[in-house]
Amino acid sequence: MLRRLIRPARRLPLWLIFTITAPFLFEIILHLWRYSVPRPASELDSPFFTTCQEPDVSAKRENAVLVMLARNHELEKANKTMTSIEQHFNKWFNYPILFLNDEQWSPRFIDVLNKTARGLATFEVVPQEQWTFPEEVDVDAAKQNIKEQGEKGIPHAGEEGYHHMCRFYSGKFYKLDILKKYRWYWRLEPDVDFTCAITYDPFVQMARHKKVYGFTIALWEVGKSCPSLFRHMADWKEMMRIPSNGLWKAMVSPSWIPFPLRQFMRWLPYRDAHGDEWNLCHYWSNFEIADMDFFRTRAYQDLFDYLDKKGGFYFERWGDAAVHSLAVAMLVDPRKVHHFEDFGYRHDHLYQCPANAPGGQLPDSPLLGSGTWATEMDNGIGCRCECDGRITSNHPGYCLNRLKQPTSIKRPWYARIL
């Protein structure tokens, strides 16, 4: 039976097969080309420094603050982070530190952390109206859905407070009265290790180089947590007629299915209205050094309000990392995004560890003092890193390479086909 069906096809002349398939093949090639990211002529986002610097303790500071959202029971983990950032950075630069909580702080937490922060800390409670369900959301339905998400095993999706946190960091955070006086912020999390000395002021360098957003780690989002997020963000982008820049293209895996069949792919998760797919790459936002004026812009706030009305912060588990990343890709010139590849950073089980710069550790520096650090290596860029620079990270490099395409001439071989 099968042979009978195949036999007529064999009799078709090659020119006819080519004539039928050529337009579809050409359309696919053209579509893929539209999403290609041009290789820049030179590196557009090099490290600010590639050796230790003598900390300039008298230089003018930027209008910036270190921010940590924590709870009273996280005292030990929060203190671990503060001890690390003090030892590796803030003992020289003395930036203020803001601790945020959705409930009243315990006196012990305040006492311990204020001592670690040398009196530079402020402790605030997030206003209840910024840590709750929006008016448009059916609270009972949302709570039931959160319970079901947890039963499905989606990370943190069964925790109501986690949903509030993601919504808060996605859009309400930058409107806090306590933060209105600041332009820059450095986001910290409990249970973080900084493993290299940070001997220059990253806020000053971000401002000097006209950067908007800085990160350390890029990886895949948990797809089950946000199946409709990309569709809504792409819809808003199209509605606002925002052109696609290189970073947005780097976040998209264009469909290989020809038009008009491609349109049917729109019903799948992580797809836009045309059937193209978000590759789930995003910046891991537990580390961010960013210009809050970007998040305060009318464009970003309108985008957040649009997303907020969709209910996905509760009926799915839209994360602030994915929201920030897609918004930055949509609204920011890729040249204004900076990878702090010279920072040693660990949170949870993931880390980034640069190798130490050869001959650049300033062993006689009076401010840096004496100490021990890992072996210096050729092409290293780190400053007194304590971690093993032979293993620069313990997570796949696909997303980092992908998101650096608009600003880097270095590309792995698979970048041409994926």
Annotated catalytic residues are: 288
Whole-angstrom Cα distance, residue 403 to residue 44?
13
| Residue at 86: amino acid letter | E
Q: Residue 153 burial by CB count (10 A; 0-12/13-18/19+): exposed, middle or buried?
A: exposed
DSSP 3-state of 386: coil
Per the structure block, which two tokens stand in for 280?
């789930």
Contact 172, 164 (CB under 8 A): no
Tokens matching residue 49: 């420094």
Nearest Cα to 286, choosing from 331, 255, 242, 320? Answer: 320
Q: Is the dihedral of CA 312, 252, 150, 73 positive or negative?
A: negative
User: For residue 330, what is the enclosing H or E element?
Assistant: helix 320-331
Query: What's the token pair of residue 281?
Result: 């790459």
Closest to 232 measured CA to CA, from 328, 158, 304, 132 = 304
One-letter amino acid identity for 148?
A: E
To which residue do tokens 């059937």 refer?
275
Compute the distance between CA of residue 196 and CA of residue 342 in angstroms, rounded to an integer: 8
Tokens of 275: 């059937």
Nearest to 286 by CA among 151, 156, 131: 156
